[in-house]
């Protein structure tokens, strides 16, 4: 048996795994062992990157033998059955105290299950969300690891060495135990859906409201990038809008089929939010907007449904564009506020101690939603760790106050002229619902009591009540069994 020399292993050498392995190898102090089910892929990586000094493992036993203790391996395979298969293999050759990391896009409940099962062997299991795509994996992703504190002690320095750096700080933190990392990665993706949809709606409104070309809108969006909206997604939006299709000479955005795909993490965010009872309406509308865009059959059938006669009459283009910018910013604040609400609810449900300020910090670099305003979120949670709703933090309250007239004009104008702006509209409706002194939920509760004797509470005294709707309609004090 050879003397172990590697301090970290990567299992699964498709693009993400290969890039992560190369990133690890490029950092001082790391010796990286690599293993892939099909050895040809391992050989190809070694041949293409001799500079990385990879230690090749042809079997999992060789991989285990190549690693110094505690052995640490990062699994980068397609989430699902492959993950379970690779975990089983590693468990069979690892020892108590060793660390298995799943760097794939696992559903957090799977991670909770796997962590529990692996822990029984004495081996540590860490689910780590990794954001930033292929380029992030190679140059520096944002990393969201869960798992035990013990595992983090070994893993922390390694992950810090490869993470993106934002304002001098590595974009990685121990998010919480077991599935906390994959949970937060899921929320990241949900917010990403909302952010993208909101930008797309802003583009559409400007285009339909002013008739500007995609290239002209690219200039506007690029300018937005020097203000509050400064972010990776705004930056790439300008690039996409500016792109001309080589085959037709048309703006590329006009020749791309208007049906958006999804890999499921946005849907997970919304499904989980429904289970937790957290209204993430901005994120939900973004997921649904992709579904609607992809339902070509229904869209074809609905093509002749009537719309308004009126088209948008924009008198002052510059003022309108500024309205849209403000509406976008306000809606974006709501999407993040809702996403953080879900983190708070998830942490409570699953017993995680998650620092919201730290999460906003590690999203500043490497990941898709990296943005300047994440610093404001960190400040908000550092000032008030018990902050109930991000939207109510002084900075965001002021931003929303400054944007609300624009926001209302844009949503109303979109409705009057028949332009769908579901994420803008849902975010504004949420904002008004959140701040309302009285909601019509009292009527809903009355209806529930009428047909299902679900009972209600009163504003003026303690207790639980039921009205005898089918009797003399007197009110009785009811036992709260619902």
Nearest approach, Cβ of residue 247 and ligand 2AM (Å) = 32
CA distances for 208 relative to 71, 211, 317, 417, angstroms:
57, 5, 12, 10
Let me know: does 228 contact 372? Beta carbons within 8 Å: yes
Nearest approach, Cβ of residue 83 and ligand 2AM (Å) = 8
38 in contact with ligand 2AM (CB under 6 A): yes
Phi and psi at 144, nearest 5°, equal -120, 85
48 in contact with ligand 2AM (CB under 6 A): no
The secondary structure of 342-409 as a DSSP string is HHHHHHHHHT----HHHHHHHTSSSSTT-BTTHHHHHHHHHH-TT-S-GGGSHHHHHHHHHHHHHHHH
Examine the residue annotation and report whether 192 is marked as an active-site residue of this protein: yes
Nearest approach, Cβ of residue 85 and ligand 2AM (Å) = 4
Nearest approach, Cβ of residue 141 and ligand 2AM (Å) = 17
77 in contact with ligand 2AM (CB under 6 A): yes
Q: Which is nearer to ligand 2AM, 82 or 415 (CB)?
A: 82
85 in contact with ligand 2AM (CB under 6 A): yes
251 in contact with ligand 2AM (CB under 6 A): no
Q: How far apart are CA 479 and CA 482, in angstroms?
A: 9
Q: How far apart are CA 348 and CA 274, in angstroms?
A: 15
Residues 111-150 close enough to bind ligand 2AM by CB under 6 A: none
Contact segment (CB under 6 A) with ligand 2AM among 19-27, 81-89, 207-215, 435-443 equals: 81-89
13 in contact with ligand 2AM (CB under 6 A): yes
Q: Which is nearer to ligand 2AM, 14 or 48 (CB)?
A: 14
CA distances for 117 relative to 20, 76, 367, 433, angstroms:
26, 19, 30, 43
Nearest approach, Cβ of residue 88 and ligand 2AM (Å) = 9
The secondary structure of 144-180 as a DSSP string is EE-S-HHHHHHHHHHHHHHS-EETTEESB----STTH
Looking at 7, 23, 30, 36, which residue binds ligand 2AM (CB under 6 A)?
A: 36
Considering CB under 6 A, how many residues would be counted as binding ligand 2AM?
13
Examine the residue annotation and report whether 462 is marked as an active-site residue of this protein: no
With H, G, I as helix, E, B as strand and everything else as coil, classify residue 181: helix
Looking at 69, 78, 296, 458, which residue binds ligand 2AM (CB under 6 A)?
A: 78
Nearest approach, Cβ of residue 78 and ligand 2AM (Å) = 4
Contact segment (CB under 6 A) with ligand 2AM among 12-20, 61-69, 183-191, 400-408 equals: 12-20
Q: Which is nearer to ligand 2AM, 79 or 333 (CB)?
A: 79
Q: How far apart are CA 25 and CA 28, in angstroms?
A: 8
Contact segment (CB under 6 A) with ligand 2AM among 9-17, 201-209, 240-248, 350-358 equals: 9-17
Contact segment (CB under 6 A) with ligand 2AM among 7-15, 131-139, 274-282, 300-308 equals: 7-15
**DSSP for residue 244:** B
The pairing of beta strand 99-102 with beta strand 124-131: parallel
Closest to 143 in 3D by CA, of 165, 105, 171: 171
Let me know: does 347 contact 353? Beta carbons within 8 Å: yes
Q: How far apart are CA 414 and CA 424, in angstroms?
A: 10
Q: How far apart are CA 108 and CA 114, in angstroms?
A: 10
Nearest approach, Cβ of residue 9 and ligand 2AM (Å) = 13
Q: How far apart are CA 56 and CA 273, in angstroms?
A: 43
Let me know: does 209 contact 305? Beta carbons within 8 Å: no
Give me the catalytic one of 89, 115, 192, 342. 192
With H, G, I as helix, E, B as strand and everything else as coil, classify residue 35: strand
Nearest approach, Cβ of residue 89 and ligand 2AM (Å) = 7
Contact segment (CB under 6 A) with ligand 2AM among 31-39, 202-210, 271-279, 292-300 equals: 31-39
| Residues near 386 by beta carbon (within 8 Å), at least 6 away in sequence | none
Q: Which is nearer to ligand 2AM, 77 or 238 (CB)?
A: 77
The pairing of beta strand 475-477 with beta strand 465-467: antiparallel
The separation between the first and the last C-alpha atoms of the chain, rounded to the nearest angstrom, is 65
Nearest approach, Cβ of residue 20 and ligand 2AM (Å) = 12
Let me know: does 282 contact 194? Beta carbons within 8 Å: yes
Residues 86-105 close enough to bind ligand 2AM by CB under 6 A: 86
Q: Which is nearer to ligand 2AM, 16 or 390 (CB)?
A: 16
Q: Which is nearer to ligand 2AM, 90 or 191 (CB)?
A: 90
41 in contact with ligand 2AM (CB under 6 A): yes
Q: Which is nearer to ligand 2AM, 11 or 426 (CB)?
A: 11
58 in contact with ligand 2AM (CB under 6 A): no
Give me the catalytic one of 41, 47, 51, 185. 185
Residues that bind ligand 2AM (CB under 6 A): 12-14, 17, 36-38, 41, 77-78, 82, 85-86
- Residues catalogued as catalytic: 185, 192
């Amino acid at each position: 048996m050879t003397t172990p020399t590697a301090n970290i292993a990567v299992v699964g050498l498709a693009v993400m795994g290969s890039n992560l392995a190369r990133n690890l190898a490029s950092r001082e102090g790391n010796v990286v062992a690599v293993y892939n089910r099909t050895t040809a892929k391992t050989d190809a990586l070694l041949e293409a990157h001799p500079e990385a000094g990879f230690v090749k493992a042809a079997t999992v036993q060789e991989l285990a033998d190549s690693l110094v203790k505690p052995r640490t391996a990062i699994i980068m395979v397609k989430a699902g059955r492959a993950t379970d298969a690779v975990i089983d293999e590693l468990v069979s050759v690892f020892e108590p105290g060793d660390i298995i990391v799943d760097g794939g896009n696992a559903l957090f409940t799977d991670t909770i299950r796997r962590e529990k099962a692996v822990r029984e062997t004495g081996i540590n299991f860490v689910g780590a969300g990794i954001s930033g795509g292929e380029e992030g994996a190679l140059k520096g992703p944002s990393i969201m690891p869960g798992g035990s504190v013990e595992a983090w002690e070994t893993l922390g320095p390694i992950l810090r060495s490869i993470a993106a750096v934002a304002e001098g700080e590595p974009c990685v933190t121990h998010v919480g135990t077991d599935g906390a990392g994959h949970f937060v990665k899921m929320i990241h993706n949900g917010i990403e859906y909302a952010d993208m949809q909101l930008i797309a709606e802003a583009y559409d409104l400007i285009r339909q409201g002013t008739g500007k070309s995609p290239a002209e809108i690219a200039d506007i969006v690029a300018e937005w990038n020097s203000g509050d909206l400064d972010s990776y997604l705004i930056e790439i939006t300008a690039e996409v809008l500016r792109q001309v299709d080589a085959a037709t000479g048309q703006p590329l955005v006009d020749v791309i089929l208007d049906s958006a795909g999804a890999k499921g993490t946005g849907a997970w965010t919304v499904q989980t939010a429904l289970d937790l009872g957290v209204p993430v309406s901005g994120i939900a509308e973004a997921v649904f907007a992709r579904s609607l865009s992809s339902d070509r059959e229904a869209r074809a059938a609905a093509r002749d449904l009537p719309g308004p006669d009126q088209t948008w009459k924009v008198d002052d283009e510059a003022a309108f564009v500024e309205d849209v910018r403000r509406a976008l910013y306000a809606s974006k604040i709501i999407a993040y506020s809702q996403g953080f609400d879900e983190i708070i609810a998830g942490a409570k449900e699953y017993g995680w101690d998650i620092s919201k300020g730290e999460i906003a910090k590690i999203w500043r670099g490497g990941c898709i939603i990296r943005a300047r305003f994440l610093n404001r979120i960190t400040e908000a949670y550092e000032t008030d760790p018990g902050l109930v709703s991000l939207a109510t933090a002084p900075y965001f309250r002021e931003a929303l106050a400054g944007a609300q007239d624009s926001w209302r004009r844009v949503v109303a104008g979109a409705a009057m002229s028949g332009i769908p702006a579901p994420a803008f509209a849902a975010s504004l409706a949420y904002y008004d619902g959140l701040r309302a002194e009285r909601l019509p939920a009292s009527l809903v509760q009355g209806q529930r009591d009428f047909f299902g004797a679900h009972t209600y509470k009163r504003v003026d005294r303690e207790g639980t009540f039921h009205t005898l709707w089918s009797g003399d309609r007197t009110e009785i004090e009811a036992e709260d069994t619902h």
